[in-house]
């Protein structure tokens, strides 16, 4: 990947572009809607994070409700082989 950037800088120098012009083309510094995009990403990541917390919380929750015994199956329920 670094080789690609180096080649792009070499091509840009051959075309007579300055370093600042190459950076604006490669890294999109002139984005007018940058603040709006950042707000959208923050909202999107917070929604995804909220749903991940809900999924993890339901996965970790107790199997048995509080106040109940864990199992009603006993050994005498099974027939023993003779």
Per-residue pLDDT tens for 4-16? 777 877 887 888 8
Output the pTM of the full model.
0.40
Q: Comparing C-alpha atoms, which of 64, 3, 69 is closest to residue 11?
A: 3
The rounded distance, in Å, linking the Cα atoms of 24 and 38 is: 19
8 CB contacts (<8 Å, ≥6 apart)?
A: 22, 26
Tokens representing 28? 């999109």
pLDDT at position 51 = 92
pLDDT at 74 over 90: no
pLDDT at position 46 = 95
The whole-chain average pLDDT of the chain stands at 76
Place of tokens 């809900």: 54
Q: How far is CA 71 from CA 6, 60, 67, 76, 77, in A?
A: 67, 19, 12, 14, 12
pLDDT at position 45 = 95
Give me the mean pLDDT over the 21-28 stretch: 72
């Amino acid at each position: 990947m670094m080789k690609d950037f180096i080649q792009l800088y070499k091509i840009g120098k051959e075309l007579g572009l300055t370093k600042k012009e190459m950076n604006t083309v490669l890294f999109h510094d002139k984005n007018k809607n940058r603040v709006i995009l950042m707000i959208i990403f923050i909202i999107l990541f917070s929604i995804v994070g909220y749903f991940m917390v809900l999924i993890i919380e339901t996965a970790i929750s107790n199997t048995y409700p509080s106040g109940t015994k864990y199992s009603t199956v006993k050994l005498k329920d099974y027939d023993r082989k003779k």
